[in-house]
Structure 1
Amino acid sequence: MRHIGQAGKIFTLSAIASVLLLSGCGSTPKTQSKPVVVEPTPIETSQVEENVTPEHKLLEAKKLWERTRNKEQRDALLLQAADLYLQNQQPVLAQQVLYEVKEDGISGGNQSYYSLLVTKAYAGMPNASAEELLAMLDGVKATGETAFQKAELQTQLFTQQGNYAAAANSVLLTNLSDEDKVQQVWQWLTSLPAESLFEVGKAYPALSPFITLRELTEKNASSPATLAVELQKFQQVYRGHVLENTLPKSVVAATQLTDAGANDIAVLLPLSGRLARTGQVVKNGIMSAYYTDVEKRQDEHLLPRLRFIDTNGADTQHLLNEIGDTKFIVGPLLKDTVESLIPNLPVGVNVLALNRPEEIAAPATTNVMPTNNTLATSSSASLNDDLHNSGGAIAASGAKGELAALDLVTSLNYFGLAPEDEAKQLAEYVFNKGYRAPIVIAAQSSLYQRMDATFKKHWTLLNDQENKRRTNITSVTFNDSNSLREGITQALDVAQSNDRINQIEYMTNAEVYNMPRSRRDIDAIVAFASPQDTELLNPIIEASLNPYDGKQVPVYATSRSMDYDSGKNQWRDLQNVHFIDMPWLMPSHNWQPLQQEVEQAWQNQNTMQKRLFAFGFDAYQLLPQLGMLNTLKYLTHEGLTGTLSLNQQGEVIRRQPQAIIRNEKVQMLSE
């Protein structure tokens, strides 16, 4: 890489000026503010001889001009000089050459090469418009090396825009190896929502085989053996395509998963003591899922044996003795038990922890790219303040080598009902609706303060992604109904409006016929409060908003503000409140027969018990899928608690559906 220094820069600019000054003797230069886009002819980037410098090309352009006055050939040499500056990582000098060429007018024969070089010179710069550069690239019609460069630039610019479907389409046209192309396309394509794939396939036909492959893996996610057979058929159909001989590594790994042979599963729950009722409800959910499998398989002998171990008052050694040689564990439920037990488990044990320790271990420490279909365990977060969701670094040092020798993988996953997770999802939901100036109202209890802090932290992150420094959140904290009312009226500026009206009346000694006006910049209200406080909050908000503004400010809440046991009065007071909650608690879900059985077996379950039952049910149903979910991260499981998937840390990500209270009823929202 060559650096020409200050003297070189002076020579460069002098040479450019000299060449273009001479052009005035034989032609009238065409000055323009931006390049004229004409129908270009295919042109290859010049392959210059070794050790040729940009200055050589500038001098060659000058001599050619003095000798022939051929503007098109001269400009071609100048563009080659700019190309060499870019290759030498000197974009400023390249930009100067390109600017001078543009000012002198660009001939049609050089337009394509010029457009390519301008895009290369400005791509990735903070103030450059990716949209304008992509439009410029549209005029580049080239073959060979130029076509590869164009595709690479399009891939880079589409990625900057976040248009990953277009980026995936472009990367197929680069000169990357087949393996690199497939891996990159697969990474982007599996990051897209499943519902968008049909439109993606219509817009980019080259991606259709990849979309078909993704749909094939989703359809056969329950059986690695069936997936392997279907993949062979897929490769025959797409003979000659890059996917015939080069499949994504994760898909190949998924076909190699085998049943780990879990014939004995230990479930660790508090079944006595203070949390006995909580543990029993989770157990009921697990047993219900177990017997649902019995009905499906028509053979109880095909299912594993479940052993329930009471963790109440048990120390680590006692639990280890109870677990014995069992290789599959569901639980523990309490954070302290998780932190003390799991680091002491022998190598080769697969754990579905039902709470998170303080920090989640990196994937490498838990070896989560399995070669066996593991029945792993996944942690459940804060079920209430006693079951607080933390996260946790649990690693068995030196486990990798021992596991390789045993040919058995340790899998560790975390399945959470964390209130923080709901706050994060609500932030994304409200932000994606286009709101930017919410009032966030939070009760002073630790639970709602944690949710409030998580919401604001994630909201800031979402703003940063839009390059906006201000988050525009108005905060209200309350501890009783009086402070709640006062906080809302102050946040909406109603109190200040009343003061201004009173002041005018005092100054004029006359009654002012006016309504207190609320702030007009507020576009949403987010509540982290108990069901009882949320019932009080909604009428206060409606009373504080000026009815003559004609503006409705939507109110958003989480499942922690919903109690399905309060009767119709609650729904009346929560009119028009948007919220997220488990599918299991929604009026129209896909498990109606199961719900009837549950209501007959366990009558009068309250809202929290229904959530704990769904949690236990999903935990058991996830077991046989965790190997595949760990391998193909884009796969999901539709559970009673939400749409479930796994992230890179082995945490279960739970997306809950959205609903609204209308006419004293809960109505699902499809958006």
Structure 2
Amino acid sequence: MRHIGQAGKMFTLSAVASVLLLAGCGSTPKSQSKPVEVKPSPIETTQVDDNVTPEHKLLEAKRVWARTRDKNQRDTLLLEAADLYLQNQQPVLAQQVLFEVKEDGISSANQSYYSLLITKAYTDLPGAAPEELLAMLDNVIETDETAYQKAELQTKLYSQQGNLAAAANSVLKTRLSDEQKVEQVWKWITSLPKESLNAIGEEYPALAPFLTLRELTEQYASSPIKLANNLQQFTQVYRGHVLENALPEDVVKASKLTDAGANDIAVLLPLSGRLARSGQVVKDGIMAAYYTDVEKRQDEHLLPRLRFINTNGADSQELITEIGDTRFIIGPLLKETIESLIPNLPIGVNVLALNRPDELPDSSLRQSTSYSIATQRADVDNEASNVDLAEPKTQDEIGALDLPVSLNYYGLAPEDEAKQLAELIFKKGYRAPIVIAAQNSLYQRMDDTFKTHWKALNSAENKQRANITSVTFNDSNSLREGITQALDVAQSNERINQIEYMTNDEVYNMPRSRRDIDAIVAFSSPQDTELLNPIIEASLNPFDGKQVPVYATSRSMDYDSGKNQWRDLQNVHFVDMPWLMPSHKWQPLEQEVQQAWENQNTMQKRLFAFGFDAYQLLPQLGMLNTLKYLSHDGLTGNLSLNQRGEVVRKQPQAIIRNEKVRMLSE
């Protein structure tokens, strides 16, 4: 259809106005002795005909009204004109026609058609309220055609609201192909929180097969073969459903994976030299996870052969010689070792690195259908030893897996915690934090990461400015001074002193801190945080009486300091590993660890958990690389993989209350 332009708009307005003017000035039909009940009739929207234009419909409406004074027929033609304008991508003209029809009153016979068109006309308009438009759709009577259009509009509006479950439910009622429906519904279903799935299944029964499929993939995350077998049963149970012949592509890929088959694993750690003690603790964690598998399987022939290779003082060629034909590697631990070794590894080697290089290799090297191993970040090195724990299987069996190279990176990077903290307090609605950071390279890195991510979160809400107040310190004096200045307490004291001087009377008032500050974030050592928190509490005297929460990371927590620390950290919120939280679910393991390794300090506990999780991730990495919504509930946190092959670690929240660490659900 041609574009009407300004002349067309004037014609539309005059045509509609003249039709409605006739409604007001023409002779009125004779009154009926008995009221006639007009029932809404099923509607089918107008299909564009090359020979029919919206203007034709407007003129026809004018002639019909002049000849018959039939308001329903006239308004139907006007609505058809609006429908054609929408099909011609001319929403402004459609909106004008719809406005004029509404002004003259909409009969019950045309209410359904009008509601559908008004929703179409305003759905993509900036500032339109999705909830109001969804309410309009409740008036639409569903026929074959309008049911599809209603479902399409509901899908768009629910997704605008962020109600992904309702949007997924609506997609199933659209005209999309089975493959398109499955792709969109699966994308939304796998992005929903796991704890919300039961309620969603009750509210939207049509989504039950998708929820069951997600539960199936989570249940068999460590065994592609079992997943494939259960998928066959699934398609039989849901015969006739769209999922029978159109399973999600990533699920099909996951079901075709080969079970881990990691028969020979090389673990690269610094086992001598400066970082020997740390490397040994990571090794202890790996061994503990190994023996946990022994107890579960009770058949050591099914377990891999572990070889520990000392990276201290070894160059990449020496390490490659030590690795030999092994196709599965955990480590190295040090960033520089990773950067020198990875590019020189032969094709077919799968690596779970225990650190992240500054720049990750090309993502095309990672294959989502491959089995992989990842590596964690920590600062560690130790002495060499080789430990054979089970009979190795033949190299032919390993080679038969035909696995392409796959790289994953698993780290305890402090920057990751700073990013999680930014997301946490932003989600809680805080927008004006004070960020306090020690003048130390570690804490400055965390400070920079927090601010960068905070700006990104604000930009996502179209806010040009991220409202952050920064404080840096290098000793207790600069810490106290920085906090009081940031909170405006010093200026408040000055104002009180000025009033006393001017009035020559004592002012009975307390210095007040700034009203706009809603959270305080600390990147500092445990010792500095113990000093910092009492200073903050002494400086805060808010106008409304509300306390400003203080947030920290695990780098501010030391579980070896005794109760005095918890007293000084009263009401501090923080994130840390589940393994260090009270009442975690690994109590039997903790008792065994305490018996085997007495008096582990806080850092050693973290490195032990790190090694334990690295080994446990091994049989699941193929699935985690393929089904990105899956996660592993580990000692170091809830672990999943992003598109860059990095292990994303989400840690639980806690608060210090009454000199004890208490877990928080949110």
Relative to structure 1, the CA distance from residue 20 to residue 621 in structure 2 (aligned partners, 3 Å threshold; closer, same or farther) is: same
Match of 1:419 in 2: 414
User: Could you tell me how far apart the structure 2 residues matched to 1:418 and 1:533 are?
Assistant: 20
Deviation digits for residues 434-453 of structure 1 (CA, Å, limit 9, x no counterpart): 32322221112122122222
Match of 1:458 in 2: 453
- Equivalent residue runs for 1:40-439 within 5 Å: 41-360=41-360, 363=363, 365-370=364-369, 372=370, 374=371, 376-381=372-377, 383=378, 407-439=402-434
Match of 2:34 in 1: none
User: Could you tell me how far apart the structure 1 residues matched to 2:580 and 2:622 are?
Assistant: 28
Relative to structure 1, the CA distance from residue 9 to residue 574 in structure 2 (aligned partners, 3 Å threshold; closer, same or farther) is: same
Equivalent of 1:536, from 531, 544, 558?
Answer: 531
Q: CA shift at 1:13, angstroms?
A: 2.7
User: Could you tell me how far apart the structure 1 residues matched to 2:39 and 2:300 are?
Assistant: 72
Contact persistence 2:149–2:174 (CA under 8 A): yes
Deviation digits for residues 41-73 of structure 1 (CA, Å, limit 9, x no counterpart): 432212343442222222222222232222222
Letter in 2 for 1:175: R
Contact persistence 1:526–1:555 (CA under 8 A): yes
Q: Secondary structure at the match of 1:413?
A: strand
TM, length-normalised to structure 1: 0.91
Contact persistence 2:333–2:379 (CA under 8 A): no
Letter in 1 for 2:546: K
Q: CA shift at 1:470, angstroms?
A: 4.1
Match of 1:477 in 2: 472
User: Could you tell me how far apart the structure 2 residues matched to 1:479 and 1:385 are?
Assistant: 27
Match of 1:626 in 2: 621
Q: CA shift at 1:250, angstroms?
A: 1.8
Equivalent of 2:548, from 549, 553, 566?
Answer: 553
User: Could you tell me how far apart the structure 1 residues matched to 2:520 and 2:367 are?
Assistant: 40
Q: Secondary structure at the match of 2:149?
A: helix
User: Could you tell me how far apart the structure 1 residues matched to 2:272 and 2:13 are?
Assistant: 84
The worse-fitting range, judged by mean Cα deviation, of 556-565 and 289-298 is 289-298
Contact persistence 1:368–1:650 (CA under 8 A): no
Contact persistence 2:512–2:542 (CA under 8 A): no
Deviation digits for residues 114-134 of structure 1 (CA, Å, limit 9, x no counterpart): 111111111122221112111
The worse-fitting range, judged by mean Cα deviation, of 454-463 and 346-355 is 454-463
Q: Secondary structure at the match of 1:378?
A: strand
Q: Secondary structure at the match of 1:307?
A: strand
User: Could you tell me how far apart the structure 1 residues matched to 2:62 and 2:452 are?
Assistant: 59
Q: CA shift at 1:547, angstroms?
A: 8.1
Relative to structure 1, the CA distance from residue 108 to residue 500 in structure 2 (aligned partners, 3 Å threshold; closer, same or farther) is: same
* Ranges in structure 1 where 5+ consecutive residues have no aligned partner: 29-37, 387-403
Match of 1:644 in 2: 639
Q: Secondary structure at the match of 1:355?
A: coil
Q: CA shift at 1:185, angstroms?
A: 0.9
User: Could you tell me how far apart the structure 2 residues matched to 1:205 and 1:464 are?
Assistant: 37
Q: Secondary structure at the match of 1:59?
A: helix
Deviation digits for residues 566-595 of structure 1 (CA, Å, limit 9, x no counterpart): 111111111111111001111211222222
Contact persistence 1:423–1:455 (CA under 8 A): yes
Match of 1:34 in 2: none
User: Could you tell me how far apart the structure 1 residues matched to 2:362 and 2:138 are?
Assistant: 43
Deviation digits for residues 133-154 of structure 1 (CA, Å, limit 9, x no counterpart): 1111121122112111111111
The worse-fitting range, judged by mean Cα deviation, of 214-223 and 40-49 is 40-49
Contact persistence 1:85–1:94 (CA under 8 A): yes
Relative to structure 1, the CA distance from residue 102 to residue 206 in structure 2 (aligned partners, 3 Å threshold; closer, same or farther) is: same
The worse-fitting range, judged by mean Cα deviation, of 475-484 and 462-471 is 462-471
Q: CA shift at 1:313, angstroms?
A: 2.6
Relative to structure 1, the CA distance from residue 138 to residue 385 in structure 2 (aligned partners, 3 Å threshold; closer, same or farther) is: farther
User: Could you tell me how far apart the structure 2 residues matched to 1:448 and 1:267 are?
Assistant: 30
Letter in 2 for 1:266: A
Match of 1:662 in 2: 657
- Equivalent residue runs for 1:499-648 within 5 Å: 499-546=494-541, 550-648=545-643
User: Could you tell me how far apart the structure 2 residues matched to 1:362 and 1:78 are?
Assistant: 58
Match of 2:387 in 1: none
- Equivalent residue runs for 1:26-37 within 5 Å: 26=26
Relative to structure 1, the CA distance from residue 337 to residue 249 in structure 2 (aligned partners, 3 Å threshold; closer, same or farther) is: same
> Post-superposition, which runs of at least 4 consecutive aligned residues in structure 1 deviate over 6 A?
none
Relative to structure 1, the CA distance from residue 297 to residue 516 in structure 2 (aligned partners, 3 Å threshold; closer, same or farther) is: same
Contact persistence 2:278–2:379 (CA under 8 A): no
User: Could you tell me how far apart the structure 1 residues matched to 2:337 and 2:145 are?
Assistant: 60
Deviation digits for residues 336-362 of structure 1 (CA, Å, limit 9, x no counterpart): 222222122222111111111233456
Contact persistence 2:515–2:542 (CA under 8 A): no
Contact persistence 1:40–1:139 (CA under 8 A): no
Letter in 2 for 1:139: N
Relative to structure 1, the CA distance from residue 45 to residue 405 in structure 2 (aligned partners, 3 Å threshold; closer, same or farther) is: farther
Contact persistence 2:375–2:409 (CA under 8 A): yes
The worse-fitting range, judged by mean Cα deviation, of 137-146 and 496-505 is 137-146
Q: CA shift at 1:425, angstroms?
A: 1.4
Letter in 1 for 2:265: I
Contact persistence 2:224–2:257 (CA under 8 A): yes
Contact persistence 2:270–2:276 (CA under 8 A): yes
Aligned residues: 640
Contact persistence 1:271–1:279 (CA under 8 A): yes
User: Could you tell me how far apart the structure 1 residues matched to 2:123 and 2:310 are?
Assistant: 61
Contact persistence 2:560–2:601 (CA under 8 A): yes
Relative to structure 1, the CA distance from residue 602 to residue 483 in structure 2 (aligned partners, 3 Å threshold; closer, same or farther) is: same
User: Could you tell me how far apart the structure 2 residues matched to 1:302 and 1:221 are?
Assistant: 18
* Ranges in structure 2 where 5+ consecutive residues have no aligned partner: 29-37, 382-398
Q: Secondary structure at the match of 1:266?
A: strand
Letter in 1 for 2:471: V
Contact persistence 1:660–1:666 (CA under 8 A): yes
Q: Secondary structure at the match of 1:475?
A: strand
The worse-fitting range, judged by mean Cα deviation, of 121-130 and 273-282 is 273-282
Deviation digits for residues 19-53 of structure 1 (CA, Å, limit 9, x no counterpart): 2222222379xxxxxxxxx9954322123434422
Match of 1:390 in 2: none
Relative to structure 1, the CA distance from residue 303 to residue 406 in structure 2 (aligned partners, 3 Å threshold; closer, same or farther) is: closer
Q: CA shift at 1:385, angstroms?
A: 11
Q: Secondary structure at the match of 1:368?
A: coil
User: Could you tell me how far apart the structure 1 residues matched to 2:553 and 2:86 are?
Assistant: 53
Deviation digits for residues 406-458 of structure 1 (CA, Å, limit 9, x no counterpart): 84232221212111111121122222223232222111212212222222232
Equivalent of 1:440, from 431, 435, 438?
Answer: 435
Q: Secondary structure at the match of 1:3?
A: coil
User: Could you tell me how far apart the structure 2 residues matched to 1:336 and 1:60 are?
Assistant: 79
Deviation digits for residues 265-296 of structure 1 (CA, Å, limit 9, x no counterpart): 11122222222222222112112211221222
Relative to structure 1, the CA distance from residue 41 to residue 496 in structure 2 (aligned partners, 3 Å threshold; closer, same or farther) is: farther
Contact persistence 1:39–1:139 (CA under 8 A): no
Q: Secondary structure at the match of 2:573?
A: strand
Match of 1:398 in 2: none
User: Could you tell me how far apart the structure 2 residues matched to 1:216 and 1:204 are?
Assistant: 19
Equivalent of 1:494, from 469, 478, 489?
Answer: 489
User: Could you tell me how far apart the structure 1 residues matched to 2:337 and 2:466 are?
Assistant: 39
Match of 2:386 in 1: none
Relative to structure 1, the CA distance from residue 74 to residue 359 in structure 2 (aligned partners, 3 Å threshold; closer, same or farther) is: farther
Relative to structure 1, the CA distance from residue 549 to residue 261 in structure 2 (aligned partners, 3 Å threshold; closer, same or farther) is: closer
